[in-house]
Chain A
Amino acid sequence: MSAVSGPLKVGIRFAESSRPLSEEALRKIDEAIARYPQKGSALLPALWIAQQEQGYCGTAAQEAIAERLGVSPAFVASVVSFYTMYHTQPVGRHVIDVCTTVSCWLRGSDALVDHLERKLGIRVGETTPDGRFTMRTVECLGSCGTAPMCQIGDDFHEDLTHEKIDAVLEGLK
């Protein structure tokens, strides 16, 4: 049975330290707190605000948020690590999330990932040396009718061919 036991994921990625959050970010977090009947609900929004400002949710940001919400930094870290969209370490300027779940797989996501690995010279999970791109594979993004597809930052890029993704990347500096 030993061949089938053990953790699936490769270790825990500890958060890197980050700059303190700006006054502007803290003000936005306070606004988020004010929107909800209970301030705990502002945790996910607060992490979004931190990530928007710093590109990732580092330890300094997590600690500031913990203090604002009256929870422990360990609690914040446990929440950050639960969700795939929060980065705990610096990432490239553009994060390419390639959907590889069933519908995209049926429409060629494996070939798309291979193409991107070759083109960018990195493996899944890595960042290009110039800091321009990070590439990840992700589970279903709810765009199965326009497969294969990927999400880069806020945008979905659908019905991808290798030429089409090349053109998209060309436009991202």
Chain B
Amino acid sequence: MAALEGKVLTAHTGHDDQRDIEAAMKRGVWSRLPKALAMSPEALIDEVKKSGLRGRGGAGFPTGVKWSFMPKEPVKPSYLVVNADESEPGTFKDRLLMERDPHLCLEGFLISAWAIRASIVFIYIRGEFVAGYRTLGRAIEAARAKGFIGRNVLGSGWDIDVILHRGAGAYICGEETALMESLEGKRGYPRLKPPFPAQHGVYGSPTTVNNVETLACLPSIVDRGAAWFAGIGREKNTGPKLYCLSGHVLRPGVYEAELGVPFETLYREYGGGLLDPKRTLKAVIPGGSSAAVLTPEECAGLTMDFDSLAAKGTLLGSAGMMFMDDSICMVRALERVLKFYAHESCGQCTPCRIGSDWIYRIVKRVEAGGGTPEDTATLVSVCDGMVGKTICVFADAAAIPARSFVDKFRHEFDDHIRRKGCSMKSAPAGAPA
């Protein structure tokens, strides 16, 4: 198991001409699709299984295994849906890939489409990403003109179309079944599973939904082999990964490293430590706001991969790491986190519709000084009434972080209730002048 040498996903994102297909091709993009097409879909799925690639959207499910759920002899057309609805707070990696290296993304999309014998690739991009939408749109037309998209791709006999679809502002549409509903022109209400998308997806057809970063790994797997990919990172946590650093770090941004890179490397070496060096680190949300918060003690010695973070009771998720220094009131921070979930609940299931709003209001009241001694117990009880009781995991994504804030910073909640308000009146550090 080894560290990542050089960059794979962001090797060319620094080149301003990388969006141009000729420049991208000179750097090797689109040279891996012919290699993939020379393999049978079964061999390609095997290769990706051997690479150990796990989904980068948040769940970390093995990509090759997901593909193998697609029916072998489908009676309906099969579809690939690219989840480009990047909306998890603290996450901005797919946006970088789409805006800076759209042809790498498209090449990965087509390799996946070939593996599952899809006839259409739907790219569902969040409505706010107008730059990414336009960049991908131009890249699709350029790739079509080169014969990478369309009928009989590169003489393989395979026909594939790519449809770029723009969302319109709804976090829940990043949930794969809500995304499919939205793609069909409906409200983004998650569907009950089973049936899973591989059996009953878009228009009731077999569908695989993959994240942009996941698919951007494929060209390198085809090019350099599963063994190379599996040799990067840690056991069962392989390959390159994009980490998004934000909040109170000196150098926020997207950094590429191996899965399982030490927390300290990301925080100190890449992030440059705290924005205000006189402060101390108070908390880190490691995988987007749906992940349980960690204390600095829990971060010591931590490696940033799916299994290490699960062992700490949290998630790698989308690797959206948010750093908070000791100027931050954790009750206020939780209020800010929960406002998001109260706003974004789709409203379909009662425990989530009522619960996400309810816990937000409790925390808001405690922060404002109106909390009562029963409030923390009520908060915990409402959270417990949300987890595992809804169609999708949105309710869990609100309740689990909420519980983690209360469990790990309980004294701040108690202090607010006792003092009838916040004893830290300072504004967040880094406020613009």
Binding site for B on A (CB under 8 A): 3-5, 7-8, 35-38, 40-45, 47-48, 69, 78-79, 82-86, 97, 100-103, 105-108, 110-112, 138-148, 151, 154-156, 160-162
Q: Is B89 in contact with A140, judged by CB distance below 8 angstroms?
A: yes
- CB neighbours (8 Å) of A148 from chain B are 432
Asked if A102 contacts B183 (CB within 8 A), the reply is no
Closest 10 CB pairs of A and B: A108-B431, A43-B185, A84-B169, A83-B168, A85-B169, A144-B246, A103-B246, A40-B185, A154-B130, A145-B252
Contacts of A103 in B (CB 8 A): 89-90, 246-247, 252, 322
Q: How far is the CA of A35 from the CA of B365 in the complex (A)?
A: 49
Provide the residues of chain B in CB contact with A162, threshold 8 Å.
432-433
Q: Would you mind naming 8 contact pairs between A and B with Cβ atoms under 8 Å apart?
A: A4-B362, A41-B165, A41-B183, A41-B184, A102-B322, A142-B94, A144-B322, A156-B131
Once the chains bind, are B322 and A44 in contact (CB under 8 Å)? no
Q: Which residues of B contact A38 (CB under 8 A)?
A: 184, 203
The reply to whether B322 and A106 form a contact with Cβ atoms under 8 Å apart is: yes
- Chain A CB within 8 A of B306 CB: no
Residues of chain A within 8 A of B120, CB atoms compared? 37
Contact call A147/B427, Cβ cutoff below 8 A = no
Q: Are A145 and B168 in contact (CB under 8 A)?
A: no
Chain A residues positioned under 8 Å from B412 (CB to CB)? none
Cα–Cα, bound, A48→B130 (Å):
12
Give chain B residues whose Cβ lies under 8 Å from the Cβ of A142. 86-87, 91-92, 94-95, 126, 128-129
Which residues of the partner chain A approach B91 to less than 8 Å between Cβ atoms? 140, 142, 144
- What separation, in Å, do the CA atoms of A145 and B249 have in the docked complex? 10
If A40-B185, A83-B167, A146-B252 touch, whether A101 touches B89 (CB-CB below 8 Å) is yes
In the complex formed, the residue of B with least CB distance to A153 is B130
Contacts of B361 in A (CB 8 A): 3-4
Contact of B254 among A35, A41, A139, A145 (CB under 8 A): A145
Which residues of B from 161 to 186 have beta carbons under 8 Å from A? 163, 165-171, 182-186
Any A CB within 8 A of the CB of B344 = yes
Chain B residues with CB under 8 Å of A101's CB are 89, 289, 336, 340
* Chain B residues at the A interface, C-beta cutoff of 8 Å: 77, 86-92, 94-95, 120, 126-131, 163, 165-171, 182-188, 203, 244-248, 252-254, 285, 289, 320, 322-324, 328, 333, 336-337, 340, 342-344, 346, 357-358, 360-362, 365, 370, 427-433
B433 near A161 with CB under 8 A, answer: yes
Check if A144 sits within 8 Å of B92, measured CB to CB: yes
Q: Please, which residues of chain B bring their CB within 8 A of the CB of A43?
A: 185-186
Nearest chain A CB to B134's CB is how many angstroms away? 8
CB-defined contacts of B187 to chain A, threshold 8 Å: 78-79, 82
- Residues of the B chain whose Cβ atoms lie less than 8 Å from the Cβ of A139: 87, 89, 171, 340, 343-344
What is the CA–CA distance of A40 and B165 in the complex, to the nearest angstrom?
13
Q: Are A8 and B247 closer than 8 Å at their CB atoms?
A: no
List chain A residues, Cβ under 8 A from B289: 101-102
Once the chains bind, are B89 and A44 in contact (CB under 8 Å)? no
User: In the assembly, what is the distance between CA of A162 and CA of B431, in Å?
Assistant: 10
Chain A, Cβ-Cβ closest to B203: A38
Known contacts A102-B333, A142-B129; 17 additional CB pairs below 8 A are A4-B361, A5-B358, A43-B186, A44-B165, A44-B166, A97-B128, A101-B289, A102-B247, A102-B337, A102-B340, A105-B428, A107-B247, A107-B430, A107-B431, A108-B432, A112-B432, A162-B432
Cβ B322 vs Cβ A36 within 8 A: no
Nearest opposing residue in chain A for B86, CB measure: A142
* A108, B171: Cα distance in complex, Å: 23
A40 touches B432 (CB 8 A): no
- A89 CB → nearest B CB, Å: 16
Interchain CB contact under 8 A, B320 and A161: no
Chain B residues whose CB sits within 8 angstroms of the CB of A111 once the complex forms:
427, 431-432
Minimal Cβ-Cβ distance residue in B for A42: B185
Residues of A within 8 A of B168 (CB): 44, 47-48, 83-86
Q: Contact: B427 with A102, CB < 8 Å?
A: no
Tell me whether A144 and B320 are in contact (CB under 8 A): yes
**Residue contact B86 to A48, C-beta cutoff 8 Å:** no
Nearest opposing residue in chain A for B134, CB measure:
A154
Find chain B residues with CB under 8 A from A144 CB: 89-92, 244, 246-247, 252, 320, 322
Min distance, Cβ A75 to any Cβ of chain B, angstroms: 8
**A79, chain B: closest CB distance, angstroms:** 6
Alpha-carbon gap, A107 to B140, bound state (A)? 36
| Contact (A85, B128) CB under 8 Å given A110-B428, A140-B87, A144-B322 | yes
Across-interface contacts of A154 in B (CB, < 8 A): 130-131
Question: In the complex the two chains form, is A145's CB within 8 Å of B185's CB?
Answer: no
Q: How far is the CA of A38 from the CA of B79 in the complex (A)?
A: 13
Residues of chain A lying within 8 A (CB to CB) of residue B169: 83-86, 138
Nearest neighbor of A154 in chain B, beta-carbon distance: B130
Q: Contacts A102-B247, A139-B171, A139-B340 given: A44-B185 contact, CB under 8 Å?
A: yes
- Name the contact of B203 in the complex, choosing from A37, A44, A143, A156 (C-beta under 8 A): A37
Residues of chain A within 8 A of B358, CB atoms compared: 4-5
